[in-house]
């Protein structure tokens, strides 16, 4: 597990947050990967439902932070800022989608 990219997933930080239980962390990661965070976000952005998009990205940011999914947490915060301030978000959305795939791969290595 030392080979996991800490820029994506900081396992040590996450374990310190949940009392050191790797089994619990794996269960939480499994719940995360079983969720659908990107599709509802993209749909809301595509249809102009910005309040819904803000809720979706805020939820992703919170889950990512709690699981120490470092890059996703940062990019979610960046996207949330752009959405709330009505700024162009296309580049950060693309970065977020890429990071989501990278993070999912890192999680599969942990599992």
Q: Report how far Cα 69 is from the mean position of its chain's Cα atoms.
A: 6
Domains, the chain, ordered by start = 11-110 (1.20.120.160)
**Which tokens in the block code for residue 13?**
């930080």
**Which tokens in the block code for residue 90?**
């296309």
The predicted model scores a pTM of 0.86
- Is the pLDDT reported for residue 4 higher than 90? no
pLDDT tens-digit readout, 33-75: 888 889 999 999 999 999 999 999 999 999 999 999 999 999 9
From CA 30, how far away is CA 78, in angstroms rounded?
25
């Amino acid at each position: 597990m030392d080979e996991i990219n800490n820029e994506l997933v900081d396992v040590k930080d996450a374990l310190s947050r949940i009392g050191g239980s790797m089994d619990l962390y794996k269960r939480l990661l499994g719940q995360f990967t079983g969720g659908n965070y990107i599709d509802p976000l993209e749909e809301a952005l595509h249809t102009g439902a910005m309040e819904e998009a803000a809720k979706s990205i805020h939820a992703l940011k919170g889950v990512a932070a709690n699981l120490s999914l470092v890059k996703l947490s940062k990019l979610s915060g960046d996207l949330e800022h752009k959405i709330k301030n009505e700024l162009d978000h296309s580049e950060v959305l693309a970065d977020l989608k890429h990071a989501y795939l990278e993070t999912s791969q890192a999680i599969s290595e942990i599992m």
